[in-house]
Amino acid sequence: MPFIVCKFGGSSLAAGDRFLRVRDIIRSDPSRRAIVVSAPGRRDAKDEKITDLLIRYFETGDEALWRAVETRFLEIGETIGADAAPLLQETREAILRKPSAAFAAGRGEYLSARLLARLLGFRFVDAMDCVRFTEGGALDRAATRREMLHCLCGEPFVLPGFYGADAARRAFVFPRGGGDITGALVAANLGADVYENWTDVDGVYDRDPAVDPRARRQRRLTYDQMESLATAGANVLHPDSLRPAREESIPVHVRSSFLPRAGGTWIT
């Protein structure tokens, strides 16, 4: 059976009904056994990303911000039939105990992954245990590879994207949008047949479709072409996520969780 690593972005997991849609996508192909997730993103243009709320909560201690985080996850929990309250309480206490902005910033991914793992019946693996940073906060590729091979073989799993830890278990995060990097590292280190990157657009366009009606979806791109588009600001894939996939020649398939039958874009 082929082995597919899937990464779901924040808009694909922004609310409870979207979690159910993601579950259906995963269940529709038993090869989808390695799942990497973002924190819930915006449900609409006026909304705030959970990651932004958490960063501001850590900076200001404003309990209204925590309540906004809580309300979102309680709705998700209710829709998927899981009581998120104990998990939320535990998470808030951990943020208050751990004076680290990076730890707080990654809690949206942590909560997303815990809830999705429960919904799917997959095991949860904490990125603290397998995405390794150096003391200075740079990604340690060799240690991450070693830890991933150790922690991620066997049963299907859900892993939070975006954060990891150094050897002393101090949390670090990738740059914003860095859940894509976690997904690419999993795909490269486990030798996936495909790295599926599920987002809210049906593929990569040659220019911004929101501003230019002549924009055309690209069915196929080379890693080089995608790298130029990403560096020029195409917001679909984090530019740093291409290198691990490219080094191991893992095909990347950018697809929309809102239009799962659409062809998306293949990057090879």
* CB of residue 185 to ligand ASP, shortest distance in Å: 13
Nearest to 179 by CA among 231, 238, 133, 247: 238
Three-state DSSP state, 43: coil
DSSP 8-state class, residue 61: -
Among residues 5, 39, 80, 95, the one that binds ligand ASP under rule CB under 6 A: 39
User: Which range, of 76-84, 127-135, 170-178, 206-214, touches ligand ASP by CB under 6 A?
Assistant: 170-178
Among residues 27, 169, 176, 220, the one that binds ligand ASP under rule CB under 6 A: 176
Residue 38 interacting with ligand ASP (CB under 6 A): yes
Residue 49 interacting with ligand ASP (CB under 6 A): yes
* CB of residue 212 to ligand ASP, shortest distance in Å: 25
The answer to whether 103 and 91 are in contact (CB under 8 A) is no
Distance of CA 62 to the CA centre of its chain: 26
Nearest CB to ligand ASP, comparing residues 16 and 178: 178
Phi/psi at 173 (nearest 5 deg)? -125, 155
Nearest to 125 by CA among 110, 138, 145: 110
Distance of CA 250 to the CA centre of its chain: 18
Among residues 11, 12, 51, 241, the one that binds ligand ASP under rule CB under 6 A: 51
* CB of residue 7 to ligand ASP, shortest distance in Å: 8
Nearest to 162 by CA among 4, 8, 5: 8
The set of residues, in sequence order, having a beta carbon less than 8 Å from that of 175 and lying 6+ positions away, is: 238, 240
Per-residue binder mask for ligand ASP (CB under 6 A), 118-157, x = binder: ----------------------------------------
Residue 235 interacting with ligand ASP (CB under 6 A): no
Could you list the residues that contact ligand ASP (CB under 6 A)?
9-10, 38-39, 49, 51, 108, 161-162, 176-179
